[in-house]
Structure 1
Amino acid sequence: MVQVFDWYRAAAPAERRTFWGCFCGWTLDSFDNQVLAFLLPTLMAVWHFSKGEAGLIATSSLLAASIGGWVSGILSDRHGRVRVLTGSIIWFTAFSVIAGFTSSYHQLLIVRALQGLGFGAEWAVGAALMAEVINPVHRGKALGLVQSGFSVGWAMAAVLTGLLLAYLPASIAWRSAFWIGVVPALVVLMIRRYIPEPELFREMKKTTGGAVVATWRSAFHKDVRRASFLAALLVTGLQASSYAIMIWLPTMLVQVRHLPVSTVALMATMMSVGSFIGQVGFAYLNDSLGRRSTAIAFCLFSALLTGCYLFIPMDAWLLAALGLPVGMGINGAFAGMGPMLSELFPTQIRTTCMGFSYNVGKSVGALSVAAVGVVAERMGMVGAIAVFCFFGYFCALLALSFLPETRGRDLTSVALSDDSYDRLDMLEQASPTRR
C-alpha cells in the first residue's frame, strides 16, 4: 500500500497542487452535471413537463458541453490552461446559481444549455494541464486518478440531493441543490490560485515568440487529423457503450427482469462504487501495462461481462452485486483517455485536438441513448442495449488497433513539423478571430 502513493510523495509541490486542482475541478464538474438527473423527478412534478422534455434538458446541456469543450480547448492553447479552467468554474457555477432561481421549464432549459458550455472545458484542458506538469512515468496514474473524480462527484450529487429532498420542503430543496455547488467551487478556485501555467506551455509560447497557433481547423491538419479522428472514434465507442448501459439498464431491470426499485437503486450504487475502483485500477495499470493494452483488456472484459449480465438469468441479489464489476468495466476505461490523448498531440494545439476528439466522440456516443429507445420498440430492451454496447466496444477496439502506444512519451517530442507550423500560423493570421 505504501508503494501505491510513492509517486505522489515524490511529486513536487506544484505537481501536487495541480493534481488537487484538476481532481477537485473534475469532481465539481461531475457534481453540477449529475445534480439535474436526481432533481428531474421533482421538477417534473412541480412544473408538469414530460419525459421527452426532461430528456431535452439533458441533451441540450450535453451538446452545449461538446461545443464548449472544443472552444475551451482552442482558448486554452491560445491563452493558457489555468486561466481557461478558472473561467470555466466561474461560468458553470454562476449558471448553477441562476438555475436555482428559474421558475419554468423553458427558463431551466436555456440556463442548463448555457451552463453546459462551461462543463466541456474541465476534461480536455484539465487533462492537458496535468499531463504537462506531472512526471511522464506517473502520467497514467495521475490523470487516471483525476478521472476518478467523476465517481466522487456522482456520489456527492446523489447523497446531497437525497438529503436536501428528504429534509427540506420540495419548493426550496431543488433550488438549494443547485446553489450548494458554490461551496466546492470556492474551494477549487482557492486551490487554482496557486497553480502556475505548465513550464512546457510557457516554453512553447517563448519558443514561438508568443504566436497564436490554434484555430478550429487545427484538429484537421495533416499532422494530427488521423490521430484526431481515431481518438474521436475511441471516445465514441466507449461513450456509446457506457450511455447504453448506465441510462437504460435500470429500466431494463425493472421492466424486463421485474426487479423492485430498491434492488435497482442498490445496483446503481454498486455501479458508482465500481466506477471509482475501475478508474483507480486503470490508472495504475495504465503506467505498468501501457495505454493500448489496458484499454483493450477493459473493453473485452466489459463486453464479456455485459453479455453475461444481459443474457444469463440471475437472481436479484446477484444482479445487484454484479453492478460493481459492471461499473468498473464501463467507466474504468475513461481513466486512460486523458493520458493517451494528451500524448498524441503537440503542445501548440494539444487542448484544441483533445477538445475536438473527446467532445465529438461524446456527442456521437450520446446518440446511443435515443437509439436504444427506438430499437427497443422492435427487438426488445435487452437486445437494443446489447447491440449498442457491443457496437460501441467494436468501435473502441477498432480505434485502439490503429492508435500507437504512447506510455511515458516525452511531450516535448510531440511536435508539429516546421512546414506544418508555418501553415498553421498563416491560417491563424488569416482568421477573423485573431486578437
Structure 2
Amino acid sequence: MIANPNSRHASVRTIALCFVVALLEGLDLQVTGLAAPGIGAEFKLSPAQMGWMFSAGLLGLLPGGFVGGRLADKIGRKMILVISVILFGVFSLASVYAWDYSSFLVARLMTGLGLGAALPVLILLSSEAFEEKHRSTAVSMTYCGVPLGGAFASLFGMLNLGYGWRSLFYIGGLLPIAVAVLLILWLPESRAFQKDALHRRQVGSIGQTAFSDLFRSEMWRSTVMLWLGFFFTITTLYLLLNWLPSLLMRQGVDRSHASIVQIFFNLGGAAGALLTGRLLDRIRPGIVVVLTYAGMLLSLAALGLSDSFTVMTVAGGLAGYCALGAQLVQYSLAPKLYSTYIRATGVGTALTIGRMGAVGGPLIAGAILAAGAGVGGVMLAASPGLVIAAATALILYEKKTAESEGAIPR
C-alpha cells in the first residue's frame, strides 16, 4: 500500500495499535448489556431503569466525540487517543466499586466520555495512515476490532471468574490502562496531521479553524446528510448491542442460547466491518450500500418474527454483518468529505450526532416493550431510519465517485 518501507512500518504499527484499542472499545460497549441481568438483580432495577443504565455510557459519548475531534485537530491525534483510553479504563474500574444504581450511572457516564473521544481519533489515524484508494480497507481493519471485542465480552460473560458481573468491568478497566502505555511508546502521530500543522504554522493559520467550516459553501448539504446517516445507523446498532440478549430471552430463548446468538452477532459484525471496507475500495460503493442496508432490514425482520433458534442464530450473524458493515460504510465515508485541518472535527461531530440516536435507541426499545408491542415492534421501529441512512450514504458515495472520475469538478 505504501512504497516507503519506513512509512509502511509506521502505518502497520498504527493499524495494529488502533485495532487493539477498538477491541477494548467493543468489549466495554457490551459489558453493560452482558452484565445487565446481574446488575438488575442486585440493584432491583425496573425495565425503564435498565434502559437508562444502558444509555448512561452513551450519554458520555456525546460530548466525548465532539470534544475529542476538535482537540485532535488542534493538538494532535496521538495525545487525545492516549488520554481517552486512560479515561475509559479508569472509570470502567470505577464501575466495579459502584454501591448503588446512581453511582453506577455516574461511572458509566464517565466511561462513555473516554470511549466517545477515542473513536473519531481511531478512524482518523487509520484513514490517514494509507493512500486514498486503500483508506476504507484501513478503517475496516481497525473497526473490526469493535465486534471482536464484543465477542470476547460475550465469552467472558459465559465464564465464572469469581466476581459476578463485576469481573467484566475489571477486565474492561485494567486492559485499557496497560494499552495506553503501549500507545505512548509505539504509536506514531498522523503524518497527514503533521504535514498540515506545519503548513498552517507557516501561513499563520494555526487555531483559526471553526466549527462553521463544516457548513462552508456547499459543504453543508454533505454534512447534514452525513449526520442523518450516522444518526439512524448508530441508533439501530446500539439498540442491538444493548438489548439483543434481553430481547431474545423475552422470546423464550434461555440465557446460554442468547449468548450464542450474541457471539454470532459479533463474529458476523467483525466479518462485516472487515469485508465491507475491502468491497468499498474494490467495487462501486453504491452497490455495497444497497446490499448492506437491505440485509440489515431482512435480518431485523427475522429476529423479530422467528421463534426458531437456528433462524435466530443465522439472523443474528447477518444482523451483525450488516449492522457493523453499515457502520463501516458511514465511518469510511466521513473522512473523505473533509480536509485534514477540519477532518477530526467533522468525524467527531458526526459521531456525536449519531450517538444521540444511540442514547435514544435503548430508551425507545424499553418504552416499546413497556407498551406491550413486543420484540417485533422494536425491530419494526428501526426500519424507516435505516432506509433514510441508506439513501443519504448512497447519494454521498455516488457524488464522491463522480468527483474521482472527473464528472464533477472539485
TM-score for both structures, normalised by structure 1: 0.82
- Structure 1 residues 227-306: aligned runs within 5 Å: 227-256=222-251, 258-306=252-300
- Residue 183 of structure 1 corresponds to 175
- Compared CA separation, residues 244 and 112, structure 1 to 2 (3 A): closer
- Residue 219 of structure 2 corresponds to 224
CA contact (8 A) 2:73 2:344 kept: yes
Question: Matches of 2:228 and 2:86 in 1, distance apart?
Answer: 31
Question: Matches of 2:107 and 2:135 in 1, distance apart?
Answer: 36
Larger radius of gyration: 1
Report how far residue 8 of structure 1 moved.
12
Question: Matches of 1:185 and 1:407 in 2, distance apart?
Answer: 41
- Compared CA separation, residues 381 and 247, structure 1 to 2 (3 A): farther
Question: Matches of 2:402 and 2:190 in 1, distance apart?
Answer: 17
- Residue 194 of structure 1 corresponds to 186
CA contact (8 A) 1:299 1:397 kept: yes
CA contact (8 A) 1:31 1:153 kept: yes
**Secondary structure at the residue paired with 2:383?**
helix
CA contact (8 A) 1:241 1:388 kept: no
- Residue 318 of structure 1 corresponds to 311
Report how far residue 179 of structure 1 moved.
5.4
Question: Matches of 2:272 and 2:68 in 1, distance apart?
Answer: 28
Alpha-carbon displacement from aligned partner over 1:329-367 (angstroms, at most 9, x marks no partner): 222222232221111111111111111112212212542
Candidates 357, 380, 388, aligned match of 2:373: 380
- Residue 20 of structure 1 corresponds to 16
Question: Matches of 1:382 and 1:177 in 2, distance apart?
Answer: 28
Candidates 113, 135, 140, aligned match of 2:136: 140
CA contact (8 A) 1:19 1:146 kept: yes
Deviates more, 1:375-384 or 1:396-405: 375-384
CA contact (8 A) 2:95 2:107 kept: yes
- Residue 334 of structure 2 corresponds to 341
Question: Matches of 1:407 and 1:196 in 2, distance apart?
Answer: 31
Report how far residue 19 of structure 1 moved.
0.3
**How many residues matched?**
400
Question: Matches of 2:155 and 2:266 in 1, distance apart?
Answer: 12
Report how far residue 13 of structure 1 moved.
0.4
Q: Mind listing any 5+ residue stretches in structure 2 that lack a counterpart?
A: 405-409
Question: Matches of 1:8 and 1:307 in 2, distance apart?
Answer: 47
TM-score for both structures, normalised by structure 2: 0.87
- Structure 1 residues 343-358: aligned runs within 5 Å: 343-358=336-351
CA RMSD of aligned residues (A): 2.9
Alpha-carbon displacement from aligned partner over 1:347-395 (angstroms, at most 9, x marks no partner): 1111111111122122125423333443456672254234322112111
Q: Mind listing any 5+ residue stretches in structure 1 that lack a counterpart?
A: 1-5, 411-416, 418-435
Question: Matches of 2:20 and 2:315 in 1, distance apart?
Answer: 29
Alpha-carbon displacement from aligned partner over 1:237-275 (angstroms, at most 9, x marks no partner): 21233344454554554444x344443332222212111
CA contact (8 A) 1:213 1:348 kept: no
- Compared CA separation, residues 103 and 80, structure 1 to 2 (3 A): same
Deviates more, 1:398-407 or 1:245-254: 245-254
Candidates 36, 48, 54, aligned match of 1:40: 36
